[in-house]
Amino acid sequence: MNVTLPEKNTINIIRKCHTTLNDIGTINEKKFKNLPENVCNFLISSTPLRLRELAKMNCFGASLIKSNLDKQFGENNYILITIGRSLSSIAETVKNFGVDVKQIPLSGIRKTYFQNINIPKEDLAVLKEFLSSINLSKEDLAKNRNKKYIITDYTYYGRTLDRTYELLKREDFLGNSSNFIKMPAEKLMGEPYHTNGFARLFGFNRFKYFSEVGELPLENLKQIKKQADSNKVEEYQSNISNGLRKLFKFNVIECIVNNNYESFIPVKELEAIYNHHLSQNAIRNYIARCNSLLEQKK
């Protein structure tokens, strides 16, 4: 896994944090609240600012998704399904907010036309078995008629979401149920997706580094269980990758517990993207708008 490290000396910082977080084990809100103050302070102060900003934006995006789905369908009246790595870390945070979330580790589907591809029967059987293991089947939809099953992904072109939706609508999977609905992630987040830099940050895959699932092309469907398990996925086999992800998750939990993830301008991360050769014009325009807004507030 190729990781662009946030600041100087980050490798040593991540190694130290990784050792501490390994001793703590899987972090959650209850465990966070019971951590010694000196351990919390060490991890927070050791977190590179860009990583901290991403954790806050992750929490803010997740809160927007939950809030908008609650308004549209009612709290606990829906199940959220996400595809691949791009939305995975946000989906896991939505889960921390109490939502039933299912993650399907499929990658590269935007390049595939299902009507023109011959997926081996044994691979389809593996996918069906995996979906059943996370309670995604026609039988599950029938038992939960009062719940909406919302499948979502980012839709720069919409191909991944459209094609996964069409695949899962097949009669041998979930079927063509009116309770199975596709909704773009940017629609679920609403206006802040465009006004707070979300589009630019997600467009450059910043959150893939912290995904709960691994990359899984259709031709590797037999690896779906492995790539759905964050403790086994190939991307997290190095200590640096694993440590970076764990430190990100710690900061996500800290933001949730202390409720400090309100909308803000992620200065350090946008500065990094600003220097990216593929994004200079777009980010310059975005930062110019941000500066203009800040001037108006003075």
Summarised one tens digit per residue, pLDDT across range 217-243 is 888 889 999 999 988 888 777 777 788
pLDDT of amino acid 140: 95
Please report which confidence band the pLDDT of residue 262 belongs to, taking 50, 70 and 90 as the band edges.
Answer: confident
For position 2, what pLDDT does the model report? 38
Tokens in use for 145? 């008629």
pLDDT for 1 beyond 50: no
One DSSP character per residue, 110-171 reads GG--GGG----HHHHHHHHHHHHHTT-SHHHHHHTTTSEEEEE---SS-HHHHHHHHHHTST
Q: For 263-289, what is each residue's pLDDT tens digit? A: 666 777 767 666 654 455 554 555 565
Q: What is the pLDDT of residues 57-94, one digit of tens each?
A: 899 889 999 999 999 999 999 999 999 888 999 999 99
For residue 41, the Cα-to-chain-centroid distance in whole angstroms is 26
Under a CB-based contact definition with an 8 Å cutoff, are residues 141 and 179 in contact? yes
Q: By the 8 A CB rule, do 201 and 269 touch?
A: yes
The CA distance from 238 to 124, in Å, is: 31
* SS3 state of residue 32: helix
Q: For residue range 142-194, list pLDDT tens digits in order.
A: 999 999 999 999 876 668 888 899 889 999 899 999 999 999 988 898 877 76
Residue 204: per-residue pLDDT: 53
pLDDT digits (tens, 9 = 90+) for 4-62: 434 445 667 777 888 888 888 888 999 999 999 999 999 998 888 888 888 998 998 89
pLDDT of residue 15: 76
In single-letter form, the type of residue at position 169 comes to K
Q: What is the mean pLDDT of the chain?
A: 82
pLDDT in tens, 121-150: 898 899 999 999 999 999 999 999 999 999
The whole-number pLDDT of residue 5 equals 39
Dihedral sign computed on CA atoms, order 102, 103, 104, 108: positive
Q: Which residues contact 44 (CB under 8 A, 6 or more apart)?
A: 52, 251, 254
Q: How do the domains of the chain map onto residue ranges?
A: 10-264, 265-298
In the DSSP assignment, the letter for residue 212 is S
pLDDT value at residue 288: 60
> What pLDDT score does 296 carry?
64
- Tokens (6 digits) for 237: 């086999």
